Structure 1
């Protein structure tokens, strides 16, 4: 079941890009992989197409899928005549006649699949749409490398919005250890107005993740701690998994 609070974070796509865009190290990581598997690439949970469009600008034939129409509308606006198609669909139930040489998620989107059933449905979608030997790539926050304790409101930083206003970002976190789900509340303060959004993310242990992947037809070929391919260690805050369809 979708936690519809998760969608609150994605209603202002232009400001979303200004707050979260510019991760060129990540974009280059996916571009390098895509160039090795150039036939047809799929990004699930693509949002405004930050990574999708970067790959399309480099000549990669790519499709982006997302469930939030305002994000897709802005992605299509930015894409113009690039070799990219954007489709509104749920990654758990997406169906296409196309088969892809590479499928990926980013922005820690894997963590938005909150239950075992959600994770399995996602992996079944990926497996069904990958060509034999195709690769599946995604990242998530590693529970062993992150502070999962409950926290009262604290400053998380700032960004400059579409009108040139510096927006202060703060938030709280509350962790449900039984369900492995972190609940974040994000507060954005423009000075003259405030917005509040909620998001829930599941923290999956890496050992459980590897078992989940191998039991659903994937070989885990590499795990990295960051986008420059530093090898993953148990205490790394991030785990980037590069898998191949068995």
Structure 2
């Protein structure tokens, strides 16, 4: 059995329904709207996995750094950056304990990677590390799942989808109906199954991924406990200006929070 996070190529394929260049467009628009200096010169992606967003930033000029705990993900991110001919610093470290000795204009944590923070203490430690690495005019953007996905009978994100890239087809199931959220810990063991077909062959990846659900009010609480950060704005999707989507909008499908240093 191979875990999904131990196969970065498969993980990147599973997430290829995301339009990373368009999302980076919006991240830059948010910087223009909420930073006096506008466009960031330095970017740090935390819990970066394949570091697709960091690599896209690097293509556009900012000095980009990607940090992840998984050595396979780090190696993959570095290889892909070299293949694309972009400069990317890759650091293997824990998102709750890292110390890079410098500050960044923009820090991002994408794809609900904060769901790997299982306790309030871990989330507070993470936010304190992020705050310590923000430049005085810096922004920290945290993308999380929308609370509707766990607190409603009408989730905004499907647990099953298909993707196709370069002649390879994959069907993904991330979570099963039997994967129940523990009402005390707010942790669910999400069963992941990914079937990849191409060139007449097929392989199946299976994994169990612990997922910690965070509510909007809990997020507010850990920000207050961490100190050093304040909320600038919250959005329900990647959109800026007239295309901005409020967190309370019926079409919102993410909980995206923009933070800056106090």
- Scaled to the shorter chain, the TM-score interval is 0.7 to 0.9
How far apart are residue 62 of structure 1 and its match? 1.2
Q: 1:147 and 1:212 mapped to 2: Cα distance?
A: 19
- Per-residue deviation, residues 168-210 of structure 1 (Å, max 9, x unmatched): 3234132112111232101123475432111122221212212
2:5 equivalent to 1:10: yes
1:23 maps onto 2:19 in alignment? yes
Distance 2:229 2:150 in 1: 29
TM-score, structure 1 as length reference: 0.85
Going from structure 1 to structure 2, the CA distance change for 1:161 and 1:32 (only over 3 Å counts) comes to: same
1:85 counterpart (68, 89, 104): 89
Mark the runs of 5 or more structure 2 residues left unpaired by the alignment: 33-37
Name the counterpart of 1:197.
207
1:118 alignment counterpart? 122
3-state SS, counterpart of residue 176 of structure 1: coil
Secondary structure, aligned partner of 1:188: strand
The normalised TM-score by structure 2 is: 0.80
Does the 8 Å contact 1:225/1:231 carry over to 2?
A: yes
Of the three residues 146, 149, 152, the one matched with 1:146 is 149
Shift of 1:106: 0.3
Pairs aligned (count): 235
In 2, the alpha carbon distance for the partners of 1:123 and 1:211 equals: 12
Q: Do the aligned partners of 1:60 and 1:83 also contact (CA within 8 Å) in 2? A: no
- Inter-partner Cα distance in structure 1 for 2:159 and 2:99: 41
What is the CA RMSD across the aligned residues, in angstroms?
2.5
The CA distance in 2 between the partners of 1:69 and 1:204, in whole Å, is 27
**Which ranges of structure 1 fall in alignment gaps of 5 or more residues?**
1-6
SS of 1:119 mapped into structure 2: helix
Aligned to 1:167: 170
Q: 1:210 to 1:231 in 2, by over 3 A?
A: same
Find the aligned partners of 1:141 and 1:94 in 2 and give their Cα distance: 24
The residue correspondences of 1:1-246 to structure 2 (distance < 5 A) are 8-21=3-16, 22-24=18-20, 25-33=22-30, 36-80=38-82, 81-143=85-147, 145-147=148-150, 156-160=160-164, 164-170=167-173, 171-172=175-176, 173-190=179-196, 192-215=202-225, 216-228=227-239, 229-233=244-248, 236-246=252-262
Distance change (3 Å), C-alpha of 1:234 and 1:200: farther
